[in-house]
Amino acid sequence: MKVSQAVILAGGESSRFWPLNYRHKSLFKITGKPLIWHAIEGLKKSGINHAVIVQGPKKDIEKELSLCSHKGLKIDYVVQPKPVSTGDALWRARKLIKGPFVMLGAHKADVESYLPALLSKFKGRAVLSGVKTESPWEFGMLKFKGKEAVKIIENPRKGTEPSDIKTSETYIFPKEIFDFYGKDIKKEDSLIDAVNLLIGKDGADLVVLKKSPISLKYPWNVFGAMDVVSDVRKIISPKASIGKNVVIRGRVFIGDNTVIGDNTVISGPCFIGENCKIGANNVMRGPVNLESGVVTGAFFEIKNSIVQEGTHFHSGYVGDSVIGRNCRFGAGFITANRRIDRGNIKSVVKGKKIDTGLNYLGAVIGDNASFGIHSGTMPGVIVGSDSLVGPGTLVFKNIEDNVTFFTEFKGVVKK
């Protein structure tokens, strides 16, 4: 039985993905395209020819994808007015589903790497994908009877974990999944309840993946998409301008109308989009992703970072950081990206301190943030959108949206 349809879920608010959640997280760009575009391309290459996208009332997914080509795959859109539950989102796509289908999150830019394994496993009953985790209390975990997966348990308490295999948020379902929904479709666990009833009756097949797919629970998880950057081909546009004594090593993409200043060293993998201006004597240590319109001044270094459209830097250092659209950084800006004791870096999300599992992590900075000269951030700091950090200020703790922060004033001032 051939699987030719997919349901792409793109309607949630993703509050833990702050400050990069003012558009849907799947619209975050890598190599010039939103993550959802990469997911669609992966579906096409895996043989899927029809996708139903469940989006929010702003219809920002539909607007963004109208600017991208997706020939070879038909797309229908349905709207989820409020992001009440994943089950509710899937339910809204049911009238367009004709047979078995793939269900995945819109941010799954790497789906091409593992979906063929799920499709080859499909013989009529559900196919689950899983991967090992060391923090099972944060995920939906698989319970086994022998080698058979028999149940998904959401966020088990520490010490009660049924296994070390979490679901990896990509499934193949028969159309009959909708017959197992309960009366309260808007309940948070409505989909998991339906899946458990389905696999309790018919069983399920399982594919355990060697590598965890992209999961954008927290903002630093976008580093998981860096594999997309690593796959870029070495292409230098004939419309780009390359200065004197520029050194380019490895896979480096340079887009149309981009200018690379004299004496700059670029070590791939590195993607530099169109209309960028890279100053003289820069150092770029890949993987690095610079979207269109990024500007850097002289003597600027960037390493293992993702920068969205229109952001400008003067001089300084950015390492292991994620930076939003249209930000401004004065001369001498520095991100600290490692603890002195070399331990894992912790970050605060929704008031809770989270171990990122990373021992290299700079800053996560929202759209339209501005930093004065000689300012900087400590490891794991999150700075909200539309915020202003004054000159000479070192940021030790998160800054909320629309805040002006100056060390001189020993506090914060709401705009």
Q: Where are the domains of the chain?
A: 5-217, 229-414
Is residue 350 packed enough to be buried (19+ CB in 10 Å), middle (13-18) or exposed (0-12)?
exposed
Residue range 376-382: average pLDDT? 97
- Round to whole Å and give the CA distance between 289 and 223: 10
Percent of the chain at pLDDT above 90?
71
pLDDT score for 159: 85
pLDDT score for 252: 97
pLDDT score for 412: 57
User: Is 23 or 267 the better-scoring residue by pLDDT?
Assistant: 267
Beta strands in 84-194 (DSSP E): 101-105, 126-132, 140-145, 148-154, 165-173
Q: Is residue 165 classed as helix, strand or coil in its secondary structure?
A: strand
pLDDT of 69-86, one tens digit each? 777 889 999 999 988 888
- pLDDT beyond 70 at 129: yes
pLDDT score for 411: 57
pTM: 0.90
User: 15 falls in which pLDDT band (50, 70, 90)?
Assistant: confident
Tokens of 119: 């499709």
User: 227 falls in which pLDDT band (50, 70, 90)?
Assistant: confident
pLDDT score for 413: 56
Percent of the chain at pLDDT above 70?
98
pLDDT score for 225: 86
Residue range 351-374: average pLDDT? 95
Residue range 145-150: average pLDDT? 84
Tokens of 340: 């002195």
User: 184 falls in which pLDDT band (50, 70, 90)?
Assistant: confident
- pLDDT beyond 70 at 409: no
User: 410 falls in which pLDDT band (50, 70, 90)?
Assistant: low
- Give the domain 229-414 fold: UDP N-Acetylglucosamine Acyltransferase; domain 1 (2.160.10)
- pLDDT beyond 60 at 414: no
Residue 394 phi/psi, 5° resolution?
-105, 120
Q: What is the mean pLDDT of the chain?
A: 92
Distances (CA, A) of 321 to 360, 379, 380: 9, 9, 9
Q: What is the identity of the amino acid at 29?
A: K
pLDDT of 276-326, one tens digit each? 999 999 999 999 999 999 999 999 999 999 999 999 999 999 999 999 999
pLDDT score for 195: 92
pLDDT score for 393: 94
pLDDT score for 146: 82
Nearest to 100 by CA among 56, 153, 47, 38: 47
Please give the CATH architecture assigned to the domain spanning 5-217: Alpha-Beta Complex (3.90)
pLDDT score for 229: 81
The alpha carbon dihedral of 231, 236, 240, 242 has a sign of positive
Question: Looking at 101-115, 179-193, 331-345, which range is the least confident one?
Answer: 179-193
pLDDT score for 100: 95
DSSP 399: B
Q: Is residue 227 classed as helix, strand or coil in its secondary structure?
A: helix
